[in-house]
Structure 1
Amino acid sequence: MSAGERFTVALIGASGLLGRAVANELASAASTQPWRVVRTARSRADAASVKLDLLDHDAVRAFLGEVAPDAIVVAAAERRPDICENDPALARALNVDALNVIATEARALGAWVLSISTDYVFDGTSPPYLPDDAPAPLNAYGQSKLDGERALLASDPRSCVLRLPLLYGPFTGWNESAVTSLTPAIVKSADAANPPASMDAWATRYPTFTPDVAVVIRGMLEQHAKGATISGIAQWSGDEPMTKFDIAERIARALNVDAKLIAQRTPTDATPRPRDCHLDSGRLEALGIGRRTPFDIAIGGLLANCPDVSSQ
């Protein structure tokens, strides 16, 4: 880019858990970066975003043709494993077919695509996983995201997939993240009249703070804007291993509640989940891209500003 030239980013899925964090990070950089960000949302579109349904392929093509972005960040997806397992057609429509449409249009426009994927493309038996390790998803969600990765990179090898693990961050409802969704049960268990809360102590997760991921994505966009495009597969992950039982204990400490928790040592999920999919972040770290906020600091800040959970 030449000095003063405008760089346009289409942020697809700007109203979601990750999309909001990316939108905020890019807005904070507006004074130092010559870019404009065009946000899209489906059910939660507002005055600052364009309403866009990814299942409407003609609308997606029209939007991209009108905006003519230099870069497209795809933060929208069907990310709920149980929903994907029960409705694989919907998972494919959002995680594969829509991404394929975006990739095809992006290639025609010369736009770089950065699409978000998941650690669930792996089976969790041989961590840590490098970007080029062989995927082996255990469920429909992981398979749909893997198929989306392959569709994108086959369409344009210059594009990039960013794999991420369990996300948490500023939220609009407890269930936006599998981390914050534990909170109401934790608080309820502290009441002597209620039974203990059962928490998974089998699968190891790496909770990753969405504002940190937003810093990563900003860094990747900056690389592209200066002609040092990151292509292929990249990964980013928090570095603190925890089970949901561990997460629950730390949430209880942050809330200063005496929770009664039971460690569940055998998986009970109807949808199969991998045991440990720790992602190696070395590729981005070597470029000086990334930030990690300690979990206790991040969750403490989130819960200090949360609504009263006792009424949930």
Structure 2
Amino acid sequence: MFKVAVIGGSGMLGRALVDELTQQTSWKVVATAFSRPSAQTVALDIRDTGAVERFIEQTAPDAVVIAAAERRPDVCERDPALARALNVDAVRTIAAAADRRGAWTLSISTDYVFDGTHPPYRHDNAPAPLNAYGHSKLEGERALTETTDRGCVLRLPLLYGPIVNWSESAVTSLVPAIAASAAPGGEPATMDAWAIRYPTFTPDVAVVIRQMLERHARGEPITGIVQWSGDEPMTKYEIAVRLAEALQLDAHLMPQHTPADATPRPHNCHLASSRLEELGIGRRTPFDIAIRQVLTAFPWQGARSPA
């Protein structure tokens, strides 16, 4: 029985991953949660070193996937100590405990380790983060690679997928403003049209991770750094336009062509996925198809069903 521990199984990526992995009938999946515990998860605060070590020791997984993190750039900027605790120190603790058990560890990182000036970025390009979030995730990458030889970092860009609330993804967080702009007398919604993002569907990422785990189960583990990304470039303004089309809303959207975020964001951090693609790993669902699946599963009161 191949056993996988998913740390952060209640988050947007964690849920998609658990859904994918539990379809493998010969695998056992143990998921942890902190802010949204349930009967299907084990309660775990990854900042508690002793609790992490006991969980790994008792679970005895063959592989550990770290999907828990502080992913909000503005929060990381305001509270670098929290960002470090979740994105660096916890990664080191989990990787060390997994290494003692002989388990392979996969840690999720971000395209924000790059400054966005010279895309596309290969896995071996030199990182140069612009904000506290990117710095913390880069330190987390180093914490993993310094702690275990059985580790792999998977860098991902902007994620979206099945949600429990609109704010769970920076993609779906645009929906309330889009809807408000379409209401009678609604004010136009200003959307960033400067930064280029590559929205990536969490069920696709879950397939990528499952394929990576299958290689490990065969005794062919992937180590070092790999990257996965959707292949459709779009700004938040362009994402909003496509969301409005999917919701059949006559939204009033205004593009903002200069950076307006308080926390600095990179212009274009397109991640090259070639290392995984060369291994035959990957799946990409077109944005317009995937976002309709998300919106259909989480209907907004007042919006018509996606076309």
TM-score higher than 0.5: yes
Q: Is the 8 A contact 2:226 2:273 kept in 1?
A: yes
Q: Is the 8 A contact 1:72 1:112 kept in 2?
A: yes
Shift of 1:103: 1.2
Unaligned runs of 5+ in 1: 1-5
Counterpart position of 2:299: 307
SS in 2 for 1:270: coil
4+ residue stretches of structure 1 with deviation over 6 A?
none
Shift of 1:11: 0.5
Q: Is the 8 A contact 1:212 1:292 kept in 2?
A: yes
Q: Deviations over 1:226-259 (max 9, x none)?
A: 0110000000000000000000000000011111
SS in 2 for 1:223: helix
Q: Is residue 43 of structure 1 aligned with residue 38 of structure 2? A: no
Q: Is residue 292 of structure 1 aligned with residue 287 of structure 2? A: no
Counterpart position of 1:3: none
Query: Which letter maps to 2:284?
Result: R
Counterpart position of 2:48: 56
Q: Tell me the TM-score normalized by structure 2.
A: 0.97
Counterpart position of 1:263: 255
Q: Deviations over 1:83-116 (max 9, x none)?
A: 0000000000000001111111111111100000
C-alpha distance in 1 between matches for 2:258 and 2:27: 49
Q: Is the 8 A contact 1:184 1:309 kept in 2?
A: no
Shift of 1:289: 0.8
Q: Is the 8 A contact 2:105 2:152 kept in 1?
A: yes
Q: Of 6, 11, 20, which residue of structure 1 is paired with 2:15? A: 20
Query: Which letter maps to 1:289?
Result: I
What are the equivalent positions in structure 2 for 1:116-131 lying under 5 Å apart? 116-131=108-123
Counterpart position of 1:277: 269
SS in 1 for 2:260: coil
Shift of 1:309: 4.1
Q: Is the 8 A contact 2:116 2:266 kept in 1?
A: yes
Counterpart position of 2:65: 73
SS in 2 for 1:28: coil
> Compared with structure 1, are the counterparts of its residues 103 and 305 closer, same or farther at alpha carbon in structure 2 (3 Å cutoff)?
closer
Q: Is the 8 A contact 1:138 1:274 kept in 2?
A: yes
What are the equivalent positions in structure 2 for 1:219-238 lying under 5 Å apart? 219-238=211-230
Q: Is the 8 A contact 1:96 1:151 kept in 2?
A: yes
Counterpart position of 1:9: 4
Query: Which letter maps to 1:105?
Result: A
C-alpha distance in 2 between matches for 1:259 and 1:25: 35
C-alpha distance in 2 between matches for 1:301 and 1:259: 20
C-alpha distance in 2 between matches for 1:78 and 1:15: 14
Shift of 1:56: 0.9
Q: Is residue 148 of structure 1 aligned with residue 143 of structure 2? A: no
Shift of 1:307: 2.9
Q: Tell me the TM-score normalized by structure 1.
A: 0.96
Q: Is the 8 A contact 2:194 2:256 kept in 1?
A: yes
Unaligned runs of 5+ in 2: none
Q: Is the 8 A contact 2:195 2:267 kept in 1?
A: yes
Q: Is residue 93 of structure 1 aligned with residue 96 of structure 2? A: no
Q: Is the 8 A contact 1:18 1:214 kept in 2?
A: yes
Query: Which letter maps to 2:211?
Result: G
Shift of 1:157: 2.8
SS in 1 for 2:298: coil
SS in 2 for 1:134: coil
What are the equivalent positions in structure 2 for 1:171-186 lying under 5 Å apart? 171-186=163-178
Query: Which letter maps to 1:79?
Result: R
Q: Is residue 251 of structure 1 aligned with residue 243 of structure 2? A: yes
C-alpha distance in 2 between matches for 1:165 and 1:134: 17
Q: Is residue 210 of structure 1 aligned with residue 205 of structure 2? A: no
CA RMSD of aligned residues (A): 1.0
SS in 1 for 2:174: helix
Q: Is the 8 A contact 1:183 1:309 kept in 2?
A: no
Query: Which letter maps to 1:64?
Result: I
C-alpha distance in 1 between matches for 2:80 and 2:296: 38
Query: Which letter maps to 1:17?
Result: M
Q: Deviations over 1:117-145 (max 9, x none)?
A: 00000000000000000000000000000
SS in 2 for 1:292: coil
Q: Deviations over 1:133-175 (max 9, x none)?
A: 0000000000000000001001113310000000000000000
Identity level (%)? 66
